Amino acid sequence: MANKIGNKGQLLIFTDIHGDKELFDKYMDLWEVENPNCHICFAGDLIHGRFSPEKDKSPEILDIVSEYINYPNFHPLLGNHELSEIDSSSYLHMTMRKQRAHFIRSISTSKSKKELDDYRKKYFDLMCKFQFAIVTENGLWVSHIGPSKKSYHNVRDYLWNTFESDDNSTNVNDFLKNHDLKFMVVGHTETPKGYEFLDKQLIINSNHHIKGEVNNYYLDIDLSKIVDKELIKKSLKTIT
């Protein structure tokens, strides 16, 4: 369910790429692939372009992810968009029918008709390997969405809560306390600035377009330091 990361080196965190290959490439360039102490995490929603269909490069992104999926310092996490593709029993699978149909179209745009089924299976199997969360030895939890006010019965329910409809600061604090953790980083929710601190939770948007402005935030965290709000604030960076 959650990958564990030690207290050496650095952790890069990005969220909600949504098929933007240009941005994905820029973020990948920041990663030292062969350095086992340089970890990279994509915290959900790599796929399903939100903007124009012709700009959706989800299959090309997954092709690159498949090259690194077995690297111990590469951590793609499930978002609601990946979950809608791989969990046919989930509510997301039904409600995100349009995005799923679009995903098939984007595969058929980049692959030949003959290869379509093979690639659909390849991407399905690949996304099944994505974890729900990562936990670091210095006390950080990273997932696509935080715990919900509603009780959750299984980890799948974890991907339901949204910032807009559910002030969950009590739940976040309880969750962190119960699991002996210090801070939480999530994506999913678009925030006006491109990031938002809610007590011990940071929401970041690494593919952020609002009113013509672009503020793409990510984190570059020193894993040897104690995690607190100050460290997270210092670790917040932006790319244009």
Q: Give residues in contact with Mn ion (CB under 5 A).
A: 45, 79-80, 188
Q: Residue 45 or residue 181: which is nearer to Mn ion going by CB?
A: 45
CA separation for the pair 233, 221 (Å, rounded)? 10
Q: How far is the CB of 115 from Mn ion (least distance, A)?
A: 28
127, 78 Cβ separation under 8 angstroms: yes
CB closest to Mn ion, residue no? 188
Q: Residue 81 or residue 182: which is nearer to Mn ion going by CB?
A: 81
Q: Residue 24 or residue 119: which is nearer to Mn ion going by CB?
A: 24
With helix as H, strand as E and coil as C, how does 73-97 read?
CEEEECCHHHHHHHCCCCHHHHHCH
Q: How far is the CB of 240 from Mn ion (least distance, A)?
A: 23
* CA dihedral sign of residues 228, 229, 234, 240: positive
Q: How far is the CB of 31 from Mn ion (least distance, A)?
A: 22
Q: How far is the CB of 91 from Mn ion (least distance, A)?
A: 14
Q: Residue 119 or residue 217: which is nearer to Mn ion going by CB?
A: 217
Q: How far is the CB of 78 from Mn ion (least distance, A)?
A: 10
Q: Residue 75 or residue 188: which is nearer to Mn ion going by CB?
A: 188
Q: Residue 98 or residue 113: which is nearer to Mn ion going by CB?
A: 98
Q: How far is the CB of 177 from Mn ion (least distance, A)?
A: 26
Q: How far is the CB of 45 from Mn ion (least distance, A)?
A: 4
CA separation for the pair 191, 188 (Å, rounded)? 9
Tokens of 157: 């329910």
Angle ∠(200,30,3) on CA atoms, nearest 5: 50
Q: Residue 12 or residue 17: which is nearer to Mn ion going by CB?
A: 17
